[in-house]
Amino acid sequence: MAEEAILGFLQNHEQIPDSGQFAAEHNLDHNDVVNVIKSLHGFGYIDAQDIKRETWVLTDEGKKYAAEGSPEVQLFLAVPAEGSVPKDELQKKLDPSVFKIGCSQAGRNKWVEMGKQVSRKVQHVEDKVKGLLLQIQEGKEIGKDSISALKARKLIVPQTWKGYSVKKGPNYAPKRKKVATDLTRENLQRGDWKDLEFKEYNFNAKGQPVEAGHLHPLLKVRKQFKDIFLQMGFEEMPTNNFVESSFWNFDALFQPQQHPARDSHDTFFLKAPSTTRTLPEDYVERVKRVHEFGGYGSRGYAYDWKREEANKNLLRTHTTAVSSRMLYALAQKPFAPKKYFSIDRVFRNEAVDRTHLAEFHQIEGLVCDRGLTLGDLIGVLQDFFSRLGMSKLRFKPAYNPYTEPSMEIFSYHEGLQKWVEIGNSGMFRPEMLLPMGLPEDVRVIAWGLSLERPTMILYHIDNIRDLFGHKVDLNLIKQNPICRIGI
Ligand code: PHE
């Protein structure tokens, strides 16, 4: 319809000066006209020039008053022609916002006398506001002062109207020629290919999206972290056991058996197999002793350590379980300094909300060497986090059962303009390291953080369920950039 109208009109006219007017005169929808103009322009049937006009449209409030009358008139009409009405009674008759705005506008217009009683000061009022709003709604022009007044009351907002002026183009024809997009077998058989006009190739058209595998944002960020550790000379620990015994997850870390984290409210215990089969017996004996009586300068926890508790299988609650196994293995050989890291999944019996899931990923680093100090820990953390683009760090004393001293790590987030907690760290306690058999002057500095948190910050995701789990939009994974760490 629109296409015939435009091409037909241009047959006997120089131009269409304004697509808006044209649409109105021909009873066409302006959007349809615009679409046809774009398409005809693309094929050179017509030339089109943009026209822009500032127009005004009604806000929701404006639309309401255009339909129901302005609040001041609604209020005026609710006041009796003779006598007066108590103000609170008037209030009950009207919508709260109509009453509030109506009072102030009708008062300003000197239409009513406002006091405890409200009465009319004039006989008749005219609803100018409604009239003006209706005019705007019909696309009519109104005076500048009226525009400012309606704008100030937020009854109208500006809107840019876009349309076109149109002339004949180089390929103008009163009717669009059908162009062939394919050369078919039938065209060849019939021989009509000789007369067909073929559509030009559009080399600017976007291709089909490639159906291929895509890395999840967590994997991309994990790769960056892994590269940073490798650049710093760290070796990756084997983390391929989600199931761990309480012994390696807690006891070896000098975490007492009554610790609340060892409760089923916080930890997922396994039903089958519910217990571990083997543990290094002599080491278990030393761990039991350090929990019960201490040693190595410690008083221990002075409680009855139970083997059954240590045997219980669980889904590991932190990757520090892996670190404890690795340090124990290291202690069984002549000592050599080590730098280890791991990035893998851990599980906690958490209430799920926008920042917590029952499974997430931890990044953990540790350095094991003779004579390390807290200064070394701070230095390594500074080096590590600077490589992520976070060089403003602060540390806050904290508590972990297996580290002393312990520090929470904070980084200044330029975007959020505040200090945000980014990790936890500390020096492993002698009660953990010495029963393993590590030499007395060996210290281990370590830190841990979640992989999800930096990933959410980097990818501007504020709900963890949009990042991980069954509610994730696959387009997030297909369309996200490679990684944006450190910028
Ligand atoms: N395991 C700690 C946690 O779960 C992190 C940590 C690792 C703390 C190493 C100190 C040293 O949060």
Ligand 1 geometric centre to CA of 191 (Å): 78
Residue 364 CA: which ligand 1 atom is closest? 7
- Minimal-distance CA residue to ligand 1 atom 5: 448
| Residues 249, 317 contacting (CB under 8 angstroms) | yes
> Which stretches within 69-156 are classed as H helix?
71-78, 87-93, 96-108, 128-137, 144-152
Ligand 1 geometric centre to CA of 424 (Å): 6
Enter the DSSP assignment of 252.
G
Ligand 1 geometric centre to CA of 487 (Å): 26
Site to probe by mutation for ligand 1, drawn from 320, 381, 445 as the one with most ligand atoms within 8 Å of Cβ, is: 320
Using the predicted structure, report yes or no on whether residue 212 has a pLDDT greater than 90: no
pLDDT in tens, 165-201: 999 999 899 988 888 889 999 999 999 999 888 888 8
From CA 22, how far away is CA 393, in angstroms rounded?
65
**Of 359, 362, 363, residue with least CA distance to 465:** 359
pLDDT in tens, 308-348: 999 999 999 999 999 999 999 999 999 999 999 999 999 99
Using the predicted structure, report yes or no on whether residue 408 has a pLDDT greater than 90: yes
Ligand 1 geometric centre to CA of 274 (Å): 25
Q: What is the mean pLDDT of residues 372-377?
A: 97
pLDDT in tens, 263-281: 988 999 999 999 999 999 9
Ligand 1 geometric centre to CA of 282 (Å): 26
Q: What is the mean pLDDT of residues 37-64?
A: 92
Ligand 1 geometric centre to CA of 303 (Å): 25
Site to probe by mutation for ligand 1, drawn from 364, 399, 452 as the one with most ligand atoms within 8 Å of Cβ, is: 364
3 state SS of 130: helix
pLDDT at residue number 413: 84
Tell me the pLDDT band of 16, cut-offs 50, 70 and 90: very high
Site to probe by mutation for ligand 1, drawn from 262, 319, 424 as the one with most ligand atoms within 8 Å of Cβ, is: 424
| Residues 367, 457 contacting (CB under 8 angstroms) | no
Residue 425 CA: which ligand 1 atom is closest? 10
Site to probe by mutation for ligand 1, drawn from 253, 339, 344, 362 as the one with most ligand atoms within 8 Å of Cβ, is: 362
| Mean confidence (pLDDT) of the chain | 93
CB atoms within 10 A of CB 464: 20
Ligand 1 geometric centre to CA of 278 (Å): 25
Q: How far is CA 31 from the centre of its chain?
A: 34
- Minimal-distance CA residue to ligand 1 atom 6: 448
Most confident of 106-115, 152-161, 438-447: 438-447
292's enclosing H/E stretch is helix 281-292
- Which residues contact ligand 1 via a Cβ below 6 A? 318, 320, 364, 400, 403, 424-426, 446-448
Q: Report CA-CA distances (Å) from 53 to 20, 41, 158, 160, 161.
A: 11, 21, 10, 6, 5
Using the predicted structure, report yes or no on whether residue 388 has a pLDDT greater than 70: yes
Using the predicted structure, report yes or no on whether residue 140 has a pLDDT greater than 90: no
CB atoms within 10 A of CB 390: 22
Ligand 1 geometric centre to CA of 403 (Å): 9
| Residues 41, 47 contacting (CB under 8 angstroms) | yes
